[in-house]
């Protein structure tokens, strides 16, 4: 049962987990207020923010004084507490366990491997005014390819979404992570028709909230295209 107060979320939409939270809130129309925390300006190190999260990371959620600081926990809390369609985080034990299975795997596979590609191709060269380390990038892309193989063979197989016939919070975490290299004008799913179809299904399921969450990333991509 929801309270009458707005959920507050502290986000930087260049952050993949922040986009997942943003999409869920907007796709399910949970009343909320976004507080922007610009990581590039060091706002996550401010004394005010560190009172909310001493780890200095986003996203952070505040719901009537209750604070959560991990995206996985935030997504599952919102889907459990608020009146959203049950498919987001199913109550049936086996179906819920499938979501938990993916989200546990996500943090040591999809998340670090996709993020590393973006870091090597965009963040490090931008921050250090250096050229892309092609050797490290090729290695990172190979590691990501192994993860994409597993997404196809372990999770998607013959089902439309990662954990079954309906979209869940697992799909949001995964798609936002795999979109991150787009900021460097790289579509890591370009040669992956099965994963492309899955991404299209996710976009269709959440509607305009997908593009709203990714607008900052798309702008980064467009600036990069203009320089190439």
Average pLDDT value for residue range 191-209 = 98
The predicted-structure confidence for 73-89, as pLDDT tens digits, reads as follows 999 999 999 999 999 99
Nearest to 58 by CA among 66, 69, 45, 48: 69
Report DSSP state, residue 153. I
User: So where are the chain's domains?
Assistant: 7-84, 93-207
Report the topology of domain 7-84. Glutaredoxin (3.40.30)
Please tell me the pTM assigned to this model.
0.95
Nearest to 115 by CA among 71, 53, 49: 71
Report, at the CATH architecture level, how domain 93-207 is classified: Up-down Bundle (1.20)
Per residue, the 3-state secondary structure of 34-81, as one string, reads: EEECCHHHCHHHCHHHHHHCCCCCCCEEEECCEEECCHHHHHHHHHHH
The predicted-structure confidence for 6-55, as pLDDT tens digits, reads as follows 999 999 999 999 999 999 999 999 999 999 999 999 999 999 999 999 99
């Amino acid at each position: 049962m929801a309270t009458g107060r707005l959920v507050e979320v502290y986000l930087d939409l260049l952050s993949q987990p922040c986009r997942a939270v943003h999409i869920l809130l907007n796709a399910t129309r949970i009343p909320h207020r976004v507080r922007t925390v610009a990581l590039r300006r060091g706002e996550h190190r401010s004394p005010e923010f560190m009172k909310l999260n001493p780890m200095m990371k986003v996203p952070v959620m505040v719901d009537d004084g209750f604070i959560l600081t991990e995206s996985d926990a935030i997504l599952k809390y919102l889907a459990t507490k608020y009146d959203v369609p049950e498919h987001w985080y199913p109550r049936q034990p086996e179906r819920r366990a499938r979501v938990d299975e993916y989200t546990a795997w996500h943090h040591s596979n999809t998340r670090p491997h996709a993020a590393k590609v973006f870091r090597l191709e965009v963040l490090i060269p931008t921050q250090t005014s250096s050229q892309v380390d092609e050797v490290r990038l090729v290695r990172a892309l190979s590691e990501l390819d192994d993860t994409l193989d597993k997404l196809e063979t372990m999770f998607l197989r013959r089902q439309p979404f990662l954990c079954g016939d309906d979209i869940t919070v697992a799909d949001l975490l995964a798609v936002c992570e795999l979109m991150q290299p787009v900021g460097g004008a790289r579509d890591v799913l370009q040669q992956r028709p099965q994963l492309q179809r899955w991404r299209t299904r996710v976009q269709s399921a959440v509607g305009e909230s997908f593009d709203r969450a990714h607008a900052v990333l798309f702008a980064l991509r467009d600036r990069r295209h203009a320089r190439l």
